Amino acid sequence: MGNPNVGKSVVFSRLTGVRVMSSNYPGTTVNYTEGRMKVGDEEAQVIDVPGSYTLDPTCEAEEVAVRMLELGDVVINVVDATNLERNLFLTLQLIERKVPVVVALNMWDDTRHRGITIDLEKLHEELGVPVIPTVAVSGQGIKELVESLPDAVAGSHPERTREERWAAVGHVTDSVQVISHRHHTWLERLSDATVKPVQGGAIALGVLVLSFAAIRMIGESLIRWVIDPAYETLWMPVVQRVSDSLGADGVLHAVLIGRVSGGTIDPVESFGLLSSGVYVPLAMVLPYIVSFYLILGLMEDVGYLPRLAVLLDSAMHRLGLHGYAIIPTLLGLGCNVPAVLATRILESRRERFIAATLVAVAVPCASLQAVVLGLVGNFGYRYVLIVYGTLLLVWLILGTILNRMMKGFSPELLIEIPRYRWPLFEPVCAKLWGRVRGFLREALPVFLVAILAINLLYLAGAFDAIARIAAPVVTQLLGLPPEAVVALLVGFLRKDVALGLLAPLSLTAGQYVVAAVVLAMFFPCVATFAVMFRELGAKDTAKSAAVMLVSALSVGAILNAIL
């Protein structure tokens, strides 16, 4: 246990290695991690609970941390040695609970760099529990920490009021800590600059552009050089043999293999369980999830994300969100699926609904953007700017409307800004594997069920009925030809393919702009829709879908009238 950003996850990784499992606490979207370690001759379960400043919960994550405290036989309280006064409040609360505690005084190396001297023996006497100095990034003190666990004892301090506890924190800090003058390092100067509006904005723009470029490069490289060749070599022959054995007709072939065009099984457009059901989530979505979470993990461990959240917090509050909502928003520019999953970092259900809805409505994924640049860009880049400008306006206006219509408030962004540090390979890989495995375990089954349901509706003729009903709306309201109905329906599978289907229709520049904006705002692809259902539940997903439909048709009609 410990405050956020004290190196808790790095200590956990040092204790358990990479044999870890990430889970959601039941009934919440709060993540925790568990693993195993050796203590003497015994194997112990280690749980890394959510970061908490206090045992008097102020948010869902702290509520989970307090409930999980009852599970432990020993608490390893990770304390930032360079911020002793802030960290000791939680330490004293744990000692007052009469649970066995060992204090890991982490970032011990930084105390010398910052001119801080701490009397370890005196701190041990004041707290009455073992105090072990550690440097988790290098492993210093971890062996001593493990050896101290059998000696962990419950503290003897009586329970205090909040004011008495802060007075005790001040007394302990004054007794054990001496701070001497020193000059700021260049990393500290950079840390100050990244949260100032002008310098921080310029740095943020550069970091985000480089991060987005890296995400696309890694994702596209994985698809081109690893996943596509593996799919064509290992899986496609299996699909072809199953297709040949079932014959081209029949319900079973339609469900398992999907539609075959010219004797070829297209892994995207066939829409079968064994074809699209495997290719879309594993070959189209998973590479971007891997690349995004890799970059996200590096930015987390370096210490930049809290600074970005603070920089953008005021702007995001106008949309009913706080600064951390920028993470799923930016992720959506690569792929909407991990963007919806990333809304878990937001504290309230209201915030998660607003963020997921705004991502699905107004944040175009990378594949759709590529087709917009290719098709709409042929008429001149001013039309591309109209598409992006419209989506930005929708994001701002719709966020403001949802903020005012939905009851509740956005909590203030109360986060500790950590120092910049070099990331470690093992913790980054452990977090990456946990997040990727969570996606495969949670999103893949839902996606396959959605594919099956859509196939059955298609075979029952439901989509033909929808096309007949929607044709007048598409032609009169949006100014598109009747054939565009098919493209809008295909957009539920993949939006870039849907926009590409409009290429043979010889549309005008204005019609392409309308079609691109409506497709971007219309129902998200089936993979995103499946994940929204998993994250928000049926009721909120239905509300979000209604928002998408109304806003897409309204904005499309306005653009049609203007253009």
The reply to whether 178 and 211 lie within a common domain is no
- Percent of the chain whose predicted confidence (pLDDT) is above 70: 92
Boundary residue ending a domain (182, 208, 242): 182
The reply to whether 153 and 210 lie within a common domain is no
Token pair 């070959």 is at which residue? 283
Question: In angstroms, rounded to a whole number, what is the distance separating the alpha carbons of residues 146 and 129?
Answer: 14
Q: Which long-range contacts (CB under 8 A, 24 or more apart) does 118-122 make?
A: 118/81, 118/84, 118/176, 118/177, 119/175, 119/176, 119/177, 122/175, 122/176
Running DSSP on this structure, what letter comes out for residue 232? I
Question: In angstroms, rounded to a whole number, what is the distance separating the alpha carbons of residues 362 and 555?
Answer: 11
Whether the pLDDT of residue 333 is over 90: the answer is no
The CATH number for 160's domain is 3.40.50.300
- Looking only at Cα atoms, what is the longest distance across the chain? 82
Boundary residue ending a domain (158, 182, 206): 182
Amino acid 43 reads E
**Helices within 504-525 (DSSP H only):** 509-521
Residues 398 and 361 sit within 8 Å (Cβ to Cβ): yes
How does residue 328 score in pLDDT terms, banded at 50, 70 and 90?
confident
More confident residue, 334 or 290: 290
What is the domain count for the chain? Answer: 2
The reply to whether 172 and 201 lie within a common domain is no
pTM for the model stands at 0.65
Residues 129 and 101 sit within 8 Å (Cβ to Cβ): yes
pLDDT tens profile 244-277? 898 877 889 988 998 887 778 888 778 788 988 8
What pLDDT is stored for residue 494 in this prediction? 66
Token pair 């390092």 is at which residue? 185
- What's the half-sphere exposure (Cβ side, CA atoms, 13 Å) at 393? 12
Distance of CA 547 to the CA centre of its chain: 22
Residue 465 structure tokens: 């009925």
How does residue 18 score in pLDDT terms, banded at 50, 70 and 90?
low
Highest mean pLDDT among 28-37, 230-239, 485-494: 230-239
What pLDDT is stored for residue 414 in this prediction? 57
More confident residue, 155 or 405: 405
Residue 28 structure tokens: 């919440």
- What's the half-sphere exposure (Cβ side, CA atoms, 13 Å) at 434? 22
Contact partners, residue 257, CB within 8 Å, separation at least 6: 239, 242, 243, 246, 265, 270, 272, 274, 275
More confident residue, 5 or 454: 5
Report yes or no on 64 lying in a domain: yes
Whether the pLDDT of residue 50 is over 60: the answer is yes
Please give the span between the terminal C-alpha atoms of the chain, in angstroms, as a whole number. 58
Report yes or no on 191 lying in a domain: no
The reply to whether 208 and 162 lie within a common domain is no
Amino acid 448 reads L
pLDDT tens profile 356-414? 999 999 998 876 776 787 778 778 888 989 999 999 999 999 999 998 888 776 665 65
Whether the pLDDT of residue 466 is over 80: the answer is no
The reply to whether 13 and 118 lie within a common domain is yes
The reply to whether 371 and 395 lie within a common domain is yes
Average pLDDT over residues 342-356: 85
The reply to whether 131 and 222 lie within a common domain is no
The reply to whether 25 and 136 lie within a common domain is yes
Average pLDDT over residues 507-523: 89
How does residue 166 score in pLDDT terms, banded at 50, 70 and 90?
very high
Report yes or no on 187 lying in a domain: no
Residues 62 and 52 sit within 8 Å (Cβ to Cβ): yes
Distance of CA 258 to the CA centre of its chain: 32
Report yes or no on 188 lying in a domain: no
What mean pLDDT, rounded, does the chain reach? 84
More confident residue, 512 or 419: 512
Report yes or no on 357 lying in a domain: yes
What pLDDT is stored for residue 504 in this prediction? 64
The reply to whether 122 and 25 lie within a common domain is yes
Boundary residue ending a domain (149, 182, 215): 182
Q: How many residues does the chain have?
A: 563
How does residue 25 score in pLDDT terms, banded at 50, 70 and 90?
low
Whether the pLDDT of residue 19 is over 60: the answer is no
Q: Give the domain extent around 151.
A: 8-182
More confident residue, 436 or 478: 478
**Helices within 406-505 (DSSP H only):** 425-459, 462-472, 484-490, 495-500
More confident residue, 504 or 175: 175
Amino acid 120 reads L
What are the two backbone dihedrals, phi and then psi, of residue 227, each rounded to the nearest 5 degrees?
Answer: -75, -50
Residues 267 and 283 sit within 8 Å (Cβ to Cβ): yes
Q: In this structure, are strands 116-118 and 42-48 parallel, antiparallel, or unpaired?
A: unpaired
The reply to whether 235 and 127 lie within a common domain is no
How does residue 4 score in pLDDT terms, banded at 50, 70 and 90?
confident
Question: In angstroms, rounded to a whole number, what is the distance separating the alpha carbons of residues 241 and 253?
Answer: 12
Give the number of other CB atoms < 10 A from CB of residue 165. 19
Lowest mean pLDDT among 139-143, 197-201, 456-460: 456-460
Burial class of 43 by CB neighbour count within 10 A (0 to 12, 13 to 18, 19+)? exposed
The reply to whether 167 and 229 lie within a common domain is no
Report yes or no on 189 lying in a domain: no
Whether the pLDDT of residue 192 is over 80: the answer is no
pLDDT tens profile 404-429? 888 776 665 656 677 788 887 877 88
Residues 362 and 388 sit within 8 Å (Cβ to Cβ): no
pLDDT tens profile 104-139? 999 998 888 788 999 999 999 999 999 999 988 777
Residue 424 structure tokens: 């470690």
**DSSP codes, 290-308:** HHHHHHHHHHHHHT-HHHH
Running DSSP on this structure, what letter comes out for residue 51? P
Report yes or no on 369 lying in a domain: yes
More confident residue, 123 or 525: 123
